Amino acid sequence: MTRRRTGRDDAGEELYLIGEVSRIGGVSQRSLRHYDELKIIEPDVIGDNGYRYYTRNTMLKIPVVNYLKNMGFTLEDISRIFNSDFGEIEQTFAERRDAWEREMQLIRERMRIIDDWVALIHEANYVLGARPTEVRTVFLPADTFLAMPYRFNGDFAEATINLEFSKFVADNDNPITGPVILRHESFDAWRQRCSQGEPCDAMVLQHAVRTVDPEARFVRPDGMYLATYHVGPFEELGEAYDRMAAFADEHGYRLAGCSYERFVTDYWTTYDPDRFVAEVLAPIK
């Protein structure tokens, strides 16, 4: 590689102009000037003409800077590392490590949310293909949700997207994942009145990524449940309730009061009502 000699410093080391340093080190002149301002890489000599000159030994800092930048350290971090004692360097490393731990936690949370969403799409694809209408008896373990009381007025878009619940989630600083679930206080009341658009008491439930504070928590009890799928506009969910009521009567089950509507695909994923899928669950005794 051809190098142009620009002189030597007082110790006899060869000096290089900033343009040569930029070419040899693979870093822009603008960055080198910024490094000088931050006291990361300072020129060894500034000539009377204002030109910056660097020794080969000073240029060896460039790979260290690039390495630290690639690791995610900020230029402010690197300046502290280059201009501090070992104690401060250790503190800088510890602070950066803590920041990475937080970032890793956020990434793990986002990956879980994506995985849960993909699982719902897979479930919806199966249901849309098979179109199951049978009522099943299933055992469900206890499950914990982030929960908000809600007055359901028959608008499923409002209930599932739910501006109030979105604010509630933000206030609790706890990301949500999985399907939106509406818990209705009374299976019979929903079937008789709420399905006709009359307002009724409900609760919006959704799994939280982090531990839920007690005041915002709802635990669905374990036990036996009736379950059936619904495909199509949610305004026709009453058909699923009718199937469940008929099944309970036929098999001698007593519905235990409430019901849960688990929205597999809803307005979060599609605005095509033909692709809406919900599962209705009702505890039995």
pLDDT of residue 283: 97
pLDDT of residue 3: 39
Same domain (yes/no): 272, 213: yes
Dihedral (Cα; 143, 144, 145, 148), 10-degree rounding: 110
Query: 29: domain CATH number?
Result: 1.10.1660.10
Q: Specify the DSSP element, H or E, that contains 66.
A: helix 61-70
Q: Give pTM, 2 decimals.
A: 0.80
Picking from 164, 182, 284, 176, the residue whose alpha carbon sits closest to that of residue 230 is 182
d(CA 253, CA 247): 8
pLDDT of residue 48: 83
d(CA 88, CA 104): 24
**Residue 175 phi/psi, 5° resolution?**
-60, 145
> Do 55 and 44 contact (CB within 8 A), yes or no?
yes
Dihedral (Cα; 159, 163, 169, 171), 10-degree rounding: -150
Same domain (yes/no): 117, 65: no
Same domain (yes/no): 78, 132: no
Give me the domain span that covers residue 136: 112-283
pLDDT of residue 12: 63
Spans of the chain below 50 pLDDT: 1-5
Whether 93 maps to a domain, the answer reads no
Same domain (yes/no): 116, 202: yes
Query: Which runs of consecutive H residues, i.e. helices, occur in 162-256?
Result: 163-172, 187-192, 238-251
What total of structural domains would you count in the chain?
2
pLDDT of residue 4: 39
pLDDT of residue 131: 94
Picking from 285, 253, 273, 279, the residue whose alpha carbon sits closest to that of residue 181 is 279
